[in-house]
Amino acid sequence: MPSEKSVSFRAHLLSNATDLLAEVDLHCARTAKLVVSIVSHLAAYTEEGTPLAPSVFICNSITQLVKRAGIGEHVPLSQLEDTETAAGKVLKICAPLCSSNWRIYVERSINGEHCHFGVFSGSTDPTALTVDEIVLDGFEAGFPIVRISQNVTNKVEVRTNSGSAIEFRFNDDLDVPDLHDRTHVRALSKVIGSTVGTQSESFSGFVERILAESVRDSHGTLIAVISDKDGALPEVLKDAVLLSPPLDLFERYRLHMDEESSVVSVGRLQTAAELVAGIVRSDGVTVFDTLGKVIAYRAFVPMEGQQVTATGGARTRAFVALQAFIGSGLEAIFFRSQDGRMAFKVAPKGHSNG
């Protein structure tokens, strides 16, 4: 007998969202429904055919949220709205405004029945911690914070300031026990800043912030890191576009610190960060060294004569091919596919590359 049915994942989304909110003592069915609605909208959100992926923060006080961020401002954009049905209006009005340092906020009423919304920003200093890093760093009783953000099309993460997160996947990916995306970018950034000296940790954090945003906005990424001891590109990357001289990101970072974040140093570092972001989003392999320099980009790995068994596109096959050079020309390699999958390989400690 023919049959017809409609299947909704709303109950599953709502159950998981409710459990996550409970971890920050946010026991509110209206807020949970708002989270589910924003998640569903953000999975593949567009305005006039243009994909948009703003981050949305839900809090009890936008004034306190901005205060917690340290430096910033907020712009209210609504009257009192019903919380349960506000998602569409929130994104329609705010999403086009959220580029660079701007994010959406939703400020709940005491009982969660109503809300206000608008946009807010944090510090524009490129070396400063992002709003996300600051406000999600630790749970404060009575002040729950929920961030909803699209990791990639059809993958939306909900994270709270308790440190817990759920990635909702609107595709056929297998469930995984935890999220590795930021871990891979962090590990890559540590290799890029591994030989800069005493400022290695803070510089690596700066690199991580640049790469996290650049990688997220790209249609796929391949990054290789070579040792600063040699500086020569391995033969497999010889067709790259060389930067002569290399773009010394660490030198600009060091000057910025020495000049105590002067207007000139902020501009100098910001333009470098923007250029690095563009380079990383280009096709081919971007090459850094362990002294924080961008050496080359648009390198394409030749496949002729190489025994590479890998399913997927050209980036996947190139990443597999590059693994043979780890420890003998390459310190590390990083890969992100167009659908958001990430992988990272690093040379074992104690190896000699030079």
Residues 20-66 pLDDT 10s: 999 999 999 999 999 999 999 999 999 988 889 999 999 999 999 99
pLDDT tens-digit series, residues 104-138: 999 999 999 999 999 999 887 877 778 888 888 88
- Determine contact, residues 193/292, Cβ cutoff 8 Å: yes
80, 116 contact by CB (below 8 A) = yes
Q: Look at residue 296 and tell me whether its pLDDT is greater than 80.
A: yes
For 209, the 3-state DSSP assignment is helix
pLDDT band at 311 (very low <50, low <70, confident <90, very high): low
- At 261, the pLDDT band (50, 70, 90 cuts) reads confident
| 6, 9, 153, 207 from 3: Cα distances, Å | 10, 20, 32, 55
User: 18, 131, 21, 152: which is closest to 71 by C-alpha?
Assistant: 131
State how far the Cα of 212 lies from the Cα of 334, in Å rounded to an integer: 12
Q: Which residues are bridge partners to 9 per DSSP?
A: none
CA–CA separation, 148 vs 321, rounded Å? Answer: 36
Mean of pLDDT over the chain: 89
179 — pLDDT class (breaks 50, 70, 90) = low
Do 10-169 and 181-346 agree at the fold level?
Answer: yes
pLDDT band at 341 (very low <50, low <70, confident <90, very high): confident
d(CA 68, CA 331): 38
Per-residue pLDDT, 305: 53
State how far the alpha carbon of 221 is from the alpha carbons of 33, 82, 133, 197, in Å.
35, 41, 23, 28
pLDDT tens digits, one per residue of 206-243 = 999 889 888 877 888 999 999 988 767 888 898 999 99
Q: Where are the domains of the chain?
A: 10-169, 181-346
The DSSP 8-state label assigned to residue 52 in this structure reads: -
| Contact yes or no for 338/233 (Cβ under 8 A) | no
Q: State the pLDDT confidence band at 292, using cuts at 50, 70 and 90.
A: very high
- Beta-bridged to residue 224, according to DSSP, are 287, 333
8-state DSSP, 232:
P
Query: How many Å apart are CA 212 and CA 210, to the nearest integer?
Result: 6
pTM comes to 0.79
CA dist 237 and 218 (Å) reads 21
At the top level of CATH, the class of 181-346 is alpha beta
Report, as an integer, the average pLDDT of 141-146.
92
Task: Give the pLDDT score at 242.
Answer: 94
- Output 177 or 292, whichever has higher pLDDT: 292
pLDDT the model gives residue 1 = 81
Backbone angles phi, psi at 63, to 5 degrees: -60, -45
Tell me the percentage of the chain whose pLDDT exceeds 70: 93
Predicted confidence (pLDDT) at residue 352 exceeds the cutoff of 70: no
Fold of the domain built from segment(s) 10-169: YojJ-like (1 (3.40.1700)
Q: Helix, strand, or coil here: 214? A: helix
What mean pLDDT comes out for the span 160-175? 86
Closest CA to 201 of 186, 214, 216, 213: 186
Q: How high is the pLDDT of residue 3?
A: 86
In which element (H, E) is residue 21 found?
helix 10-22
Percentage of the residues of the chain whose pLDDT score is greater than 90 = 59
